Amino acid sequence: MNILITERVTRISIVTIDGRIDAFGVPELRDRLYKQLEDGVSNFVLDLRRVTFLDSAGMAALVNLLKRARQGGGDVKLVSPTEENAKRILIMTKFDQVFQMTDTVDEALKRF
Protein backbone atom coordinates (compact mmCIF):
# COMPACT_ATOMS: atom_id res chain seq x y z
CA MET A 1 0.00 0.00 0.00
CA ASN A 2 1.25 3.49 -0.90
CA ILE A 3 -0.18 6.57 0.73
CA LEU A 4 0.80 10.07 -0.27
CA ILE A 5 -0.40 13.04 1.73
CA THR A 6 0.48 16.48 0.48
CA GLU A 7 -0.37 19.63 2.35
CA ARG A 8 -0.19 22.97 0.59
CA VAL A 9 -0.42 26.27 2.32
CA THR A 10 -0.86 29.29 0.09
CA ARG A 11 0.05 32.58 1.67
CA ILE A 12 -2.09 35.38 0.23
CA SER A 13 -1.91 39.05 1.17
CA ILE A 14 -5.14 41.01 0.88
CA VAL A 15 -4.31 44.65 0.23
CA THR A 16 -7.18 47.13 0.56
CA ILE A 17 -6.53 50.47 -1.07
CA ASP A 18 -8.68 53.49 -0.33
CA GLY A 19 -8.57 56.68 -2.44
CA ARG A 20 -6.36 57.54 -5.36
CA ILE A 21 -3.59 55.38 -6.82
CA ASP A 22 -1.47 58.06 -8.41
CA ALA A 23 2.12 59.28 -8.71
CA PHE A 24 1.99 60.80 -5.22
CA GLY A 25 0.92 57.61 -3.42
CA VAL A 26 2.62 54.99 -5.58
CA PRO A 27 6.03 55.11 -3.85
CA GLU A 28 4.47 54.13 -0.51
CA LEU A 29 2.25 51.49 -2.14
CA ARG A 30 5.19 50.01 -4.04
CA ASP A 31 7.38 49.94 -0.90
CA ARG A 32 4.72 48.15 1.12
CA LEU A 33 4.00 45.61 -1.63
CA TYR A 34 7.68 44.92 -2.25
CA LYS A 35 8.15 44.37 1.50
CA GLN A 36 5.47 41.66 1.27
CA LEU A 37 7.37 40.07 -1.63
CA GLU A 38 10.61 40.17 0.39
CA ASP A 39 8.78 38.44 3.25
CA GLY A 40 7.85 35.55 0.97
CA VAL A 41 4.37 36.51 -0.17
CA SER A 42 3.78 35.82 -3.87
CA ASN A 43 -0.04 35.85 -4.03
CA PHE A 44 -2.00 39.06 -3.69
CA VAL A 45 -5.60 40.19 -3.74
CA LEU A 46 -5.77 43.92 -4.34
CA ASP A 47 -9.12 45.19 -3.12
CA LEU A 48 -9.76 48.25 -5.28
CA ARG A 49 -13.41 48.73 -4.34
CA ARG A 50 -12.63 52.06 -2.62
CA VAL A 51 -10.23 53.34 -5.27
CA THR A 52 -11.51 56.53 -6.88
CA PHE A 53 -8.78 57.18 -9.46
CA LEU A 54 -5.82 55.47 -11.13
CA ASP A 55 -3.14 57.18 -13.17
CA SER A 56 -0.37 55.69 -15.30
CA ALA A 57 2.01 55.48 -12.31
CA GLY A 58 -0.60 53.51 -10.37
CA MET A 59 -1.25 51.18 -13.25
CA ALA A 60 2.50 50.65 -13.72
CA ALA A 61 2.77 49.68 -10.04
CA LEU A 62 0.02 47.05 -10.51
CA VAL A 63 1.73 45.58 -13.57
CA ASN A 64 5.10 45.55 -11.83
CA LEU A 65 3.61 43.72 -8.85
CA LEU A 66 2.02 41.17 -11.19
CA LYS A 67 5.35 40.59 -12.92
CA ARG A 68 7.26 40.13 -9.66
CA ALA A 69 4.56 37.91 -8.15
CA ARG A 70 4.55 35.63 -11.19
CA GLN A 71 8.35 35.44 -11.16
CA GLY A 72 7.97 34.05 -7.63
CA GLY A 73 5.33 31.53 -8.73
CA GLY A 74 2.40 33.63 -7.55
CA ASP A 75 -0.31 35.83 -8.97
CA VAL A 76 -2.34 38.99 -8.39
CA LYS A 77 -6.14 39.17 -8.43
CA LEU A 78 -7.99 42.48 -8.49
CA VAL A 79 -11.31 43.28 -6.84
CA SER A 80 -13.01 45.77 -9.17
CA PRO A 81 -13.42 49.37 -8.11
CA THR A 82 -17.00 50.45 -7.47
CA GLU A 83 -16.20 53.96 -8.74
CA GLU A 84 -17.16 53.95 -12.43
CA ASN A 85 -14.25 56.17 -13.55
CA ALA A 86 -11.67 53.90 -11.91
CA LYS A 87 -13.32 50.78 -13.32
CA ARG A 88 -13.50 52.34 -16.80
CA ILE A 89 -9.74 53.03 -16.79
CA LEU A 90 -9.01 49.37 -16.05
CA ILE A 91 -11.31 48.21 -18.84
CA MET A 92 -10.08 50.76 -21.41
CA THR A 93 -6.47 49.76 -20.76
CA LYS A 94 -7.39 46.05 -20.95
CA PHE A 95 -6.30 45.38 -17.37
CA ASP A 96 -9.40 43.23 -17.07
CA GLN A 97 -7.75 40.91 -19.59
CA VAL A 98 -4.32 40.92 -17.91
CA PHE A 99 -5.54 40.48 -14.33
CA GLN A 100 -8.30 38.23 -13.06
CA MET A 101 -10.90 40.63 -11.72
CA THR A 102 -13.74 39.84 -9.34
CA ASP A 103 -16.42 41.77 -7.46
CA THR A 104 -15.48 40.55 -3.97
CA VAL A 105 -12.43 39.52 -1.99
CA ASP A 106 -13.95 36.09 -1.35
CA GLU A 107 -14.35 35.47 -5.09
CA ALA A 108 -10.72 36.49 -5.65
CA LEU A 109 -9.48 34.17 -2.89
CA LYS A 110 -11.35 31.24 -4.45
CA ARG A 111 -9.40 31.73 -7.69
CA PHE A 112 -6.10 30.77 -6.09
For residue 30, the model assigns a pLDDT of 96
Picking from 66, 58, 112, 64, the residue whose alpha carbon sits closest to that of residue 90 is: 58
Q: What is the value of pTM for the model shown?
A: 0.89
Residue-level pLDDT at 1: 80
CA angle, corner 37, sides to 46 and 47, nearest 5?
A: 5
**pLDDT per position in the chain (112 positions), as tens?**
878 877 666 789 999 999 999 999 999 999 999 999 999 999 999 999 999 999 999 999 999 999 999 999 999 999 999 999 999 999 999 999 999 999 999 999 999 9
pLDDT at res. 8: 67
Tell me what pLDDT residue 101 has. 97
| Cβ proximity of 80 and 62 under 8 Å | no
